[in-house]
Structure 1
Amino acid sequence: MDQQYFLCWRVVPLLLLMPCGLQCMSVHILAEQPVHVIPGSSLLLKARIEPGPLEKVSTITWEREPETGKAPVRVTLATCPGGSQNCVGRRPSVHVNVDQQEATLQINGYSRADSGVYAVTVTDHTGANTTAHCIVREYEAVHHVSVSINVSHSLLICGEAWGTDPHFSWLHERVAITKAVGRVSKDGATLFVSMTPICGHFTCLVSNKLGHSSATYSAAPCETEGRGTMAAVVCLSLLLLFGGVVTFLLLRRHRQSKRGERLHEHLDDTI
């Protein structure tokens, strides 16, 4: 038993001296990347900090650099002591809140210049740094919607240029797609047309938080049942009208011939 205690006291100091493992501080940003922000609104990033049992947060630093470029310039937005709850950023629009397990960065009046790769660095009491990154981009409206057709596979494909988080929906003759017309793919961008032949107007509507745009593919006009019935009614009406005119002319001719016979008989009697 004494030997077991002796071994435990030998192992514990070794664990405490390890540079990582269970003793390392971790930090990660609580957001699905990339983060898209509408211009004029506020960017809000939250970082979760998990220090080790023997570690203490000394400072928290938020920085930003361009997402692309050969020599990106990193800009420091705020550097805050670990024990302070409120921290003033380098700009009036930058605000940081800090506690032992969470750091929040808020930038008001977001613009395209605020896009880039954000980094939050946590420094512990020994000077060791732990960093997490997050990509932030501008939320853009829907642009340049188009519809193309694959005739051999009876597909209509909707395309959109560079809008953020586009949502697709389809209309046929200004009505939502039914099973008789076809089915839409899971992402909404493709319409599998089941109707034969392909006819009418197919409209793809693409939308996001900033608005919507649409494009239409026009096929040959559809011969609907209502139009066929209307055509039959028109033809029948024309036939009846033509028949009435012919009957009227025949009756008129017959009456004129009868009148001529009577006039001839009257002349014969007078002579």
Structure 2
Amino acid sequence: MSQPALLRGGGWQPLLWLALLLAAALGLAELEGLFRLIEPDSRTVIYGRAAFIDLLGSHVLLVALAAGVSSLVGVGAAIMVTRRWGADFLPLVSQLASIGQTIPPVAVLALAVPALGFGSGPTLFALMLYGLLPILRNSLAGLRGIDPAVLEAARGMGMAPLQVLWQVELPLALTVILAGIRTSVTINIATAAIGSTIGARTLGDPVISGLVIGNTAFILQGAILIGLLAVAVDSLFEQLQRRAPGA
């Protein structure tokens, strides 16, 4: 694809949002005068317990790990229950995935802390459960929405079942699957901030600290970074969907 075509397709947008995110992570500390207008009576208006760029890295790592595991489990489960030998497990798989999203993340954290301790472990577990359902549902919709005539044609060409899966089914369902992963990741970018309540290093640190001490500037700093990260990642997935096979 030529550069002008890429630009017309909005391929520059993820780069713009990523640049804004990095600029904010590195430059918020330089805007003390601006945040002083919001909190004129506070001694400190810039969150300083950890560098914003470090919190951003920890936040992204948590969300990425959770998304990777949820994607493997969700897509794998969808593949299993759309095979003849696994169709009987469809209701069970759907119900188990639904449980992960009906339980509030705070409750999952509270239940996981006794077993996994404080820090990133319970947060990662909660994110995996909370992000599983959108991926599973979209994977099922994508795989079950393929025209049976296309699958029959692939089998008629002598393709083995695995070849049909990898060369026909997954490419045709990829756009819908990516939409589920996009939803899951975007939700978890915000949800991950709750992990700061149990010691995980996330962009929720300044938000929680601001709520505890009543510092609106801290809250705003965390919210700005979380919002920019969510928009940047959502924009990136939008471009991936546009360029996926079958889009």
TM-score exceeds 0.5: no
* Higher Cα radius of gyration: 1
Between Structure 1 and Structure 2, which shows a larger proportion of strand residues?
1
TM-score of Structure 1 vs Structure 2, range by shorter chain: under 0.3
TM-score (norm 1): 0.21
Q: Which has the higher contact order (CA 8 A, sep 6+)?
A: 2
TM-score (norm 2): 0.22
Between Structure 1 and Structure 2, which shows a larger proportion of helix residues?
2
